[in-house]
Structure formats: structure tokens, C-alpha cells
Structure 1
């Protein structure tokens, strides 16, 4: 990933630290600039599939690899090492992403745990960690209140622009078991958010072991000491694992400099243009009763059922794609796991096609069409799922090609039925169809009666 543009203008630097799986911090993330008064910089992940269209097998394989680090820590054994597969996949070596995914999904001794992922960026990452554990119950936080589901707990994300997180399990008893709790986020910057969550959860039901899991760990000595102090105060054990460590060097006045930089640039938003290509729909026949993700809980039996139907659903999508060589499967905000697994299965079904995966987001980030910057373009469109905090702008990054980049031949947009609205048709779909033909695949949002 590239950080040159931000480094040269704001003086922000990435410094590599521990690399337990062979890839360093600067290989796993690049730098962007936030439109956020709380934090000037953004770490843009090369393996998360949020802001950058990525091979879905690299995304899923990296999540499984993080889960393997967790599994090994919980069992007190050495994790399976990927060798050069992660570094090779990041470098675009053919077959490396699929090789990483295949190595990491090989059967291992299952581990029971409660895995919690943070919305919106880590919903699929948390799912992947739970998949790697084999016997874990998975739940991700959400900003979408759902009738019929009571709140188990909430917490605040320190640097986020939208801070209200809810835990809405369909079966709260699954959270009240005497098993380790694994908290998954894309990055550990200070660790305050996860420590706040531990305090909240521990007050409801004390536990003996917590594990923090992130793609990258940027915490300093004081942050790690804060974690150790909390563990001692609560009388529990708290561990942390990550694919890579390091730190971000921030110069004095970075917030003001970042805001001035944003104010002085247009932001790289892409207009509609003159084209209006086809929008079609695919009927996935999503398995009846299968949750669309972990908003209300996802069991190992749910994953087993999904695995049985993935190839069939990917074939449904593939049958609708004609004469394509580059396809984007685009997910919808918190709905990251179902699109990821569909994209992964589609990539397997169409080996000659370059299948990529990313998702829309509510996070405002500066886009700059420069090869040294991680986010080249952005699409801006109105929210389309009647959000609880009111209507607002939403974004899709790097979907439109930057200067000198090749666009996508087809875009497959995977959305839940709560977001499949008139506002979607008049907003995001209009922007997508200006770039490429669009295939919409709708999955049913899990409800209390389903």
C-alpha cells in the first residue's frame, strides 16, 4: 500500500514493528486523510476489503490467519505460519491469495469462544476469525436498531465520526457462557475502545480470558500498560494478537494541518457522467432462516449451512455475467461477510476473471487521484436504509477508476432487503450504472420471526 502522498504533505510516517506472519505494517496499510475533526489520518488496509477493491481470497485468508493466531493463543500452541503466502498475495503473485485462503481453512481442532466484531469495518473480519476458531459464536456490533432485539450492551468508539454501537443478540445466553471472549477490530490504535468494551462486558458477566485481535497493532508502551492494568484490576487475563505491529509517527499540529489540507482540495468525488448502463437483479435464493451475518449472532451451524450453498449462489451470479474480465462485488456498510464469501466463491467459479471485493461506508475520507495516495476516487450518494441517526451521505471508494486505471466490466451489489429501497435505486445504483452494468443481489435481513 502507498503512503507517499500523505507522508510528503502531512509528515505522517509508518514505522514497521513485529511481523509474526511475514508481512510488515507498511505492506498491510497505506495512509489516507479523514474528513473528521477527531483524527486526521486513516489507515487504509490492503486486506480488509473496505476502501480498496481486493481479491476476496486475500481478504478472507487474512481474516482466517488472524483467527489462527487467536486459536493458537487460546490453545497455548504455535500458530500455523503462512510462509511467504501473505507477502506474495500482497505483491500480486498469481495463486498466492487462493493458497493463503486454502492453507488457513484447513481443518484444525475447534475452539469454543465468543467473538465480537466492531461495526462497521470489522464485521467480516470478526466473522473470519470466528470461522478459524471452528466452534465460536459470533456477534458484531451494529448502528442499526432492530425491532424485537434487546440491547445487551453499547460502547463508544473514541475516534469514530459515528459512535453509537449496539449489541443485539437473538439469544443473550450465548454471551453469558464461561468461555473466552475475542474482540476483533481492523486496527488497535490506542486500544481504548476494546478496553471500554471489556469493562462493560465484565460488569455484566466476569470472564477469565479476553483476546484482542486486529490486523495491525499500533499501541505504544503506555497503551499496553493500560491493558495490563485493566487485567489486574478486573482479575482477568487480556492478550493481544495482530498480523503486524508498528506505530504511526504524527507531527505536532496534525489535526489542524489535516483539516486545512481537506479544505483546500475538492475531494475527488466522481460525477454521474453521461452513461446509464443496465441494472439487473439476481435471485440468490438465500437459504431460509440463515442469518445474513452476525448482527444478531452467527453459530458454527450457520457457517456450515452457508458453506453448502455458497457455490450454488456463486453460480447464480456467474450465469448473469457475460463477457467480463474484471468484476467488483460490492457490499453494503455493515453487510460485509455475505458479499465477501459470495465474492470468494465467484472468484473460484470464474478463475479467468479478476474478481475484487469492497464495501460502501459511512466514513468520509478525502479522495485524491494520485498514484501515491491510497484512495483515488469516491462516489457520494444518500443513505438508503432509513438509518436511526437520520439521513446522510454514504461513500464508495476506488470503485470508479483513477487516471490511468482500468475500470470494472460489471459491478455486483450485494445488499440486504432493509437497504434495497427507492433511495438506493435513485442514489447509489445511478452512480454505479454510470460506470458499469450493475447486478443487484438482495439477501434477507435477519428478523426476530426468521
Structure 2
């Protein structure tokens, strides 16, 4: 793996107001594609004692609804950065289309189709790991940008009964700290191939250092690449990366679309402050279930146990990347995604405004399908992350909705930025089937959003009557 000099960039300074006099000063020191910050994120207050603010991405498809192609181009932009910085390889025409699609969503669909027809080439084999829950789709999008020499897997919060995690590590600032790693190929991490670790944002880098240390303990190698949309590490945090390089005899290369420094002012304590959930109106729409044909996907028949001790015997999808995925398997999935997208589009009315919601770490599969569901489709996902909502202009969480996770009722989930009556139809994707009882708090929210037609899209078949 070769390293090249980075390009020069004149730093720029910005101030963002969050709530009241809670502000953040940002100095951008690295912006290789000269992306406007307002095309990448908004700010919000996070209900967390360890970190009270959040860069709410306009690219991820997590908290803010986006055109599916925009989110997929976010990973492609990181892939282009990787090739440029590490291998001194550029694809000027493709990169320009990717960047244009990130800045102007009207150009995103054409840019993504061009990428699919002209995938990038990486000159050596690499392993790509996306971090759950937020970066599962981002990591998958990085992987999907390449033609060959790549394999992808994402970490998971799921706890499987029948399979042992190859590695375990902790994410210290998260509300769900434990990451697990289940590969169908037990030898996935064996070898000297560089590992590309993909996260949406690096603030301190502790999560990354934790996983590198854990991998290196059992599967040593020489080179890691840390990829993120945003990198806000302090000089002290960067020194910790250098210390780990020296300690383990490795090289860690950071790749990001934006890098800089963030200084927080007047940080409020919101830990004991109630999240003002958006009040629901009694529209009482009926929820329709759509079971996708079993032939559309491949399955992993593992049982999981949730936080209250209940076992779910319904299968997972292999296409998510949770158990590893290759470029050949990715190509087959995209062909299936087109079929499923066109099928689900038949449920929509002409020119309707449609929202597709993923659930938790189950993001890339519904995102890819949403891309093929026709025009006027937006995508984002449910999340574990509690954010304080505020209706002020430019704030990252205009409203908030809360429910119990159907796949783990011991975990509270949220979704944000869904205006009442803002969509004609809504498709919420669940990877695995669950009981009506477990769906109750979620369907109560969905039925009262002023959406004319609401569909639950179940992607796996049922092995049990989950309690």
C-alpha cells in the first residue's frame, strides 16, 4: 500500500448555533472536494452526558431524509478520496459526477448510475468494515464503489445464540456500546490485506483505536485506513493514533471528506431534560404488511436473543453485509433490488411523495431498493440515538417520534424530521418478521402521521411466532 502527499487547502472558520447560546466553532483544515458544509450536515443537541451535540448528516440517510442516490454517493466520495490519497489514482470524470451529485441532488441519480456502470478500481485486496449502527450503509456504499479486490462486513449490535463473535469492542460515547463481528467466513480477518474501517464521523477516535487493538491482537497486519465523512479529532486525539502506530508497529491512514477542529461553547446539560416528542393526530390509518418473496434474498438462519431475553428464530438477510459480502454477491443483490423496487413502486400512486424508512442498522438494503422505486422517494432510518428536537430553522431534528424497537422491545428507538402529512405513502422495512404485539408502539406512531398509505415491508420469512 502506497502513501502520497495530501493536497493543500486553506482553512476556513464557521460558527454553528445549536440551542440557545450553545454554539460550536469549526475550523475546516481539509476539504479535498471543496464541499459546502451545508450539503453535508446540520447541528443538533444530543441527550448524552459524554457528548451533548451531534453533526446530523445530510448524506447518511439516518436522521434526515435524503434521496437514496445521495447517500450511496457519500460512500463513493470516500472511495475516491482513498484512491487519491493512498494510491495516487484518480478518476476525474467519475469523481466530478459524484461530487456534483452530493452537492445537487438533482444530479445524484445520473451520477450513481454512471458509477455503477464505471466502478472504481483498487489495485490491491482490502477488507472493509462498517460500524453499526450508523455507518452500515456508508461502509456498504464504499465497498459498492469498487469493481473487485474488496470484501465488506459490518459490525452489529445483534447478539446471536448459535454463533460466536470473532472480535468484540466498545464504542465509548454511544448509547449502545457493544460491537460484535459475525462472519460466515471464520478466516475473514486472516491475512495481510489492509483493513478499511468506515464510520460516519470521528470525534475522538476511541472507537477506532478499540477495534484496531482488538483486531491486531488476533489478526495482526501492517496497515489500517480509517474512513469517515467528518473528522474532528483534536491534536491530542491524533497523537493517540500515532502512539498506537508506534506501540503496535502499524500504519493508520485517515481518510475523510472534511477534517478540522471543533470548539464547543456553553455546552448544556440535557441529560435529565425530557425529549419533547411530537404530538400525534388521530388519523388512524391502517398499516398494511407486505411480505417480499423469499426468492429475492439469501438468508442466514441464526437465532438472536434480545435485551429482555427473548429469542428470535427468524433468519437474517445475507445481503446486508452483516455476515460478509463479495462484489459478485453485491452485483446479484443490486439486480434483485431493482426488481423489488419496481414491485413496491406498484403500490405507489403516480407522482406521490414517498418515504422509505430503514430500521436501525438495516439500512443499505432498503436504501438500494428505494433508489429503484421511482421518483419523489426519500430515505432515512430509525435510530437508537436520542436527540433533543427543536423547530428552529436549520436545526437537525425538527421533530421526534419514539417507540419500542420491534426486534428488541427493551430498546427505545426514534425517528426524526417527519412532518405531519408530508408524505403520501411510507414504506418501513424490517429485516425480520416480528409479532403484532412487538409492533404495537411503532404502528401507533405510523398510523398517526397524516400519511395516506403506510406499509411494513418484511424482508424475511417466519420460522416462529416471535413473542
Q: TM-score range by the shorter chain?
A: 0.7 to 0.9
Judging by fraction of residues, say which structure has more strand: 2
Q: Which moved more, 1:130-139 or 1:175-184?
A: 130-139
**2:297 is aligned with 1:287:** yes
Alignment check: 8 A CA contact 1:380 1:396 kept: yes
Alignment check: 8 A CA contact 2:44 2:396 kept: yes
2:458 to 436, 442, 447: 442
- Give the structure-2-normalised TM-score: 0.85
**2:338 is aligned with 1:311:** yes
- Give the structure-1-normalised TM-score: 0.88
**2:40 is aligned with 1:32:** no
| Partner Cα separation in structure 2 for residue 90 and residue 50 of structure 1 | 16
**Pairs within 5 Å for 1:321-336:** 321-336=348-363
| Partner Cα separation in structure 2 for residue 397 and residue 206 of structure 1 | 41
Judging by fraction of residues, say which structure has more helix: 1
Aligned to 2:423: 408
Aligned-residue offset at 1:377:
0.8
| Partner Cα separation in structure 2 for residue 378 and residue 199 of structure 1 | 37
1:393 to 412, 416, 420: 412
RMSD (Å), alpha carbons: 2.5
**Pairs within 5 Å for 1:44-443:** 44-78=56-90, 80=92, 88-89=100-101, 92=104, 94=106, 96-105=107-116, 106-110=118-122, 111-134=124-147, 135-251=149-265, 254=267, 257-259=268-270, 263=273, 267-285=275-293, 286-289=296-299, 291-346=318-373, 350=374, 353-386=375-408, 391-401=410-420, 407-418=422-433, 420-435=434-449, 436=451, 437-443=453-459
| Partner Cα separation in structure 2 for residue 74 and residue 162 of structure 1 | 32
Q: Deviations over 1:300-337 (max 9, x none)?
A: 22202102212111111001112452111100001011
Tell me the SS of whatever aligns to 1:381.
Answer: strand
Tell me the SS of whatever aligns to 2:228.
Answer: strand
Alignment check: 8 A CA contact 1:141 1:295 kept: yes
Closer/same/farther in 2, CA of residues 148 and 79 from structure 1, 3 Å limit: farther
Alignment check: 8 A CA contact 1:326 1:355 kept: yes
| Partner Cα separation in structure 1 for residue 36 and residue 258 of structure 2 | 6
Structure 1: any 5+ residue segments left out of the alignment? none
Closer/same/farther in 2, CA of residues 382 and 128 from structure 1, 3 Å limit: same
Alignment check: 8 A CA contact 1:112 1:133 kept: no
Alignment check: 8 A CA contact 2:17 2:24 kept: no
Structure 2: any 5+ residue segments left out of the alignment? 1-13, 300-316
Tell me the SS of whatever aligns to 1:22.
Answer: coil
| Partner Cα separation in structure 2 for residue 205 and residue 91 of structure 1 | 39
Closer/same/farther in 2, CA of residues 197 and 80 from structure 1, 3 Å limit: farther
Aligned-residue offset at 1:208:
1.5
Alignment check: 8 A CA contact 2:230 2:259 kept: yes
| Partner Cα separation in structure 2 for residue 445 and residue 157 of structure 1 | 32
Closer/same/farther in 2, CA of residues 288 and 377 from structure 1, 3 Å limit: same
Aligned-residue offset at 1:86:
5.8
| Partner Cα separation in structure 1 for residue 156 and residue 350 of structure 2 | 38
Tell me the SS of whatever aligns to 1:36.
Answer: coil
**Count of residues in Structure 1 that have an aligned counterpart in Structure 2:** 426
Q: Deviations over 1:38-90 (max 9, x none)?
A: 11101100100000001110000111221222244453423547666566545
Alignment check: 8 A CA contact 2:225 2:255 kept: yes
Q: Which moved more, 1:103-112 or 1:151-160?
A: 103-112
Alignment check: 8 A CA contact 1:293 1:335 kept: yes
| Partner Cα separation in structure 2 for residue 75 and residue 182 of structure 1 | 14
Q: Which moved more, 1:41-50 or 1:109-118?
A: 109-118
Alignment check: 8 A CA contact 1:268 1:376 kept: no
Tell me the SS of whatever aligns to 2:213.
Answer: helix
